[in-house]
Structure 1
C-alpha cells in the first residue's frame, strides 16, 4: 500500500499526539467502565448471569458493527469516523448514567461496543495509509500498546472518581476521556491520498472482497481467529485458576496486574522486529509462549508458580501487540481498504468472542484445568497456522 509520505521524510513523532493520543484516551475511557458495568447491572436488579451477559454486550456490539463500521469509514473517511464514534460513545455513556431500567442500560452498553468498533477500525485504517510500510509494524504495535496502557490506567482513575461520587463517577471519567479522544482525532493531519488521489473503477463490494481474498481469509484469517481466541481467554484463566488455588482476591489482582504490566512494556521492540525481520519472527514466539504458559498453568500449585506463568503469558501477549492490525494492513487492498479491514476485524472479534465461550464450555463439560490446557493447544495451533501461511521474509511493501 502506498503511503502518503516518503519513508525518509516520515517520523512517528510527527503524528504521535493526534494519532496515538485518541487511542490512549479511548482506552482510559473503556478501562474506567469495564470493571463497574457488572456492578451497575447488579444495582439495577440483574442476576449474576444477567450481569455477565450485559458485559458481553460490548463484544457483541463490536462484532456486529465491524462491517457497518467499514462501510461508514469508507464513505466518510477515517478522521470523521473516529469523531463520529466518539460522539456515539458519549451518547451511550450518558444513556448508561441516566438509565432507569436494566434494558436501557444494556442498550447503552451495546452502543459502547458499536462505537468502539467504528473507532478502532477508523484509527487502524488511518495509520495503514498515513505510515510508510517500512514502519507499519512499529506504528501498529504502538497503537496497540498505548491502548493497553489506557485500559491499564483507566480502572485506577475510575476508582478515584467512584470514591468521590459513586459508581456514576467512572462513566463521567469515560465521557471526559472519550470527548478528549474525539477532539484530538479531529486534529489528525489530512491524508494526502484523501485529498488528491482518485482510484479508478467501481468501489468493491464486501462480496467481491471475500471472493478475491477467500484463500487468505481461510488461512491467515483462521490464524488470526485463533490468536484472538487465546488472547481473550487469557484474561479469564488467571483469575479463575487463582480462585481454584484458593488465593485471596488481593493476591489475584496483584498477579493479574503484574502480568498486564509486562504486557505493556514490550510492544515497541516487537514492532521493530516485525519491521526489520518479518511478521513471523514475532507471531510464532508470541503464540508459542502463550500456548506453553497456558499448558503449564494447570500444573501450578501456588501463588509464586502462577505468577511466573502469568508473567510469561503477559510477555507473550505483549510482544504480539499490533500483530493482527499489522497483518490486516499488509494484506488490505488499496481499493476497498476500509471494507477489508472491517472483514479482518470481524474475524478477530469472532475469535475474541469464542475464546471465553470455548473455555466455559470445556470447563462445564470436563474440568477447568482441561479447559485451560485446551486454550494452550489453540495457542500452539495459532503459531503453527501463522508460521506456515505468513511469508518468512519481509512482507511486500504496498
Structure 2
C-alpha cells in the first residue's frame, strides 16, 4: 500500500512556500519601476535588484548552523518574518537608500526561508514518494512565476505602488500564519559512526559546495545572467518601447516553460543532454535578438514564447545533469551548488547589464545578454569534446 503524500502539514507547507514566492514574483518586474520613479538610474536599479540575490545566497550558507541552534521550524518562521518586515518596509520606503537596505533584509529572509521550506518538505514526504512529492512541491514556484509578475504589474498599473506593497505584505503575512500551523516531524540524528565520509574528513567547503557539479553550475550561472535582466528590467523595457500588457509576457514564458518539458525531459533521457542543452541555448539566443527588435506587444510575446521554450528546457536539464554526476548522499549539496550559482548569475546580470543599459538602452542590453548564451555554447561544446577525447584515448589504451 502506498504511503500517503497529501498530509495536512504538506499542503500547508506547500501553500506557505507558494505565497512566499508569490510575494517575491509580484515585486520582480515592478520594484525596478518604483526605483526609477524615485530617481534611480539603471545602474542603481541593477544594484538594488542584484544585492537581494547575493544576500540570499550568503544567508543560505549559515542555515545549517541556524538549524542546530534554533531548530527547523523556528528558523523557518524567522526567515518568513524577516521577509514580512521587508515587505512592510517597502510600503514606507521613501528613498533609494532605504530601499537598498530593505532589499538586503529581504534577501536574508528569503534565503533562509527557501532553504528551510525545501528541507522541511523533504522531511514531510514519505521516502518512497520523495521524487513525486518534491515535484509537486516545486510547482508552487512555477505557479508564482506565472501569476506573480502578471498580478504585480496589473496592481501597479491600476492601483499604484502603495497598494502593491500592501497586498505583498498581506500575502507574506498569510505565508507566516500558514507556516505557524505546520507540525514538523522529528528527524532522528544519525550517530557519528554513521555520518557521511565528507562530514568526517571533508572541509567546511565540501559541506556547502559540490565540486563535481562545477561545469553544469558554471553553465547555470551563465544562463542566470541574462535571465536576471528579464526579471528585473522587462517592465522598464516595456515602458521604454511604449508597450502595454507586459505582465502577459511572464504568463507566456511560464506556459511555454511548462509545455516544453513534455518534450525536453524525454529527449534528455533518450538521446542525452546535448540534444537538449544546445538547441535550448539557441532558442534563448533567438529570443534575445527578438527582444532587441521588439517594438510591438506581439513581438514581445513571441520573444517570451522562445525564451520560455529555451529556458524551460535548459534549467531542468542542467539540474538533471548535476544529479547524474554525484552520489545520492551528495545530491542535496550538489543541488544547492547549482541553485546558488544560478542565483549569483541572476544578481550579476541585474547589476552588470543594468550598467550596460545605463549607457545604451534596454534593447541593446537584451541583445548583448545573448552573448552569455553564446559563451555558454562555447564552454559546453568544448567540455563535451574533451570528454570524448578522453573516452577515445581510454578505449585505444584498452
- TM-score normalized by the length of structure 1: 0.72
The partner residue of 1:371 within 361, 368, 371 is 368
Deviations 1:325-373 (A, max 9, x none): 7777785875996x776555432322322345565688879x6576244
Matched, 1:208 2:203: yes
Gaps of 5+ in 1: 1-5, 391-398
Aligned match of 1:174: 168
Aligned match of 2:305: 311
Aligned match of 2:396: none
Deviations 1:61-118 (A, max 9, x none): 2233221234324543443332211111111222222334432232112111111111
CA distance in 2, matches of 1:386, 1:132: 38
Matched, 1:82 2:76: yes
Aligned match of 1:293: 283
Distance 1:328 1:115, change over 3 A: farther
1:252-271 alignment, distance < 5 Å: 254-264=248-258
Aligned match of 1:3: none
Distance 1:357 1:251, change over 3 A: same
Aligned match of 1:198: 190
Aligned match of 1:222: 218
Matched, 1:23 2:17: yes
What is the SS of the residue equivalent to 1:250? coil
Bigger shift: 175-184 or 65-74? 65-74
Distance 1:248 1:136, change over 3 A: farther
Aligned residue-pair number? 375
Deviations 1:300-332 (A, max 9, x none): 556666644531321233345666777777858
CA distance in 2, matches of 1:221, 1:382: 12
Distance 1:234 1:49, change over 3 A: closer
CA distance in 2, matches of 1:336, 1:378: 27
Distance 1:219 1:48, change over 3 A: closer
CA contact (8 A) 1:32 1:174 kept: yes
Distance 1:352 1:105, change over 3 A: closer
CA contact (8 A) 1:288 1:380 kept: yes
CA distance in 1, matches of 2:26, 2:134: 23
CA distance in 2, matches of 1:340, 1:284: 20
**Offset of 1:299 from its aligned partner?**
5.8
Deviations 1:231-259 (A, max 9, x none): 4355479779989xx96412755445422
RMSD: 4.6
CA distance in 2, matches of 1:69, 1:248: 44
1:116-265 alignment, distance < 5 Å: 116-131=110-125, 135-158=129-152, 166-192=160-186, 194=187, 196-200=188-192, 204=199, 208-211=203-206, 215-229=211-225, 231-233=227-229, 235=231, 248-250=242-244, 254-264=248-258
CA distance in 1, matches of 2:386, 2:69: 32
Distance 1:24 1:104, change over 3 A: same
CA contact (8 A) 1:332 1:341 kept: no
CA distance in 1, matches of 2:272, 2:336: 24
CA distance in 2, matches of 1:156, 1:71: 37
CA contact (8 A) 2:91 2:162 kept: yes
CA distance in 1, matches of 2:216, 2:11: 32
CA contact (8 A) 1:38 1:55 kept: yes
Distance 1:328 1:210, change over 3 A: farther
Bigger shift: 279-288 or 77-86? 279-288
- TM-score normalized by the length of structure 2: 0.72
CA distance in 2, matches of 1:158, 1:61: 23
What is the SS of the residue equivalent to 2:145? helix
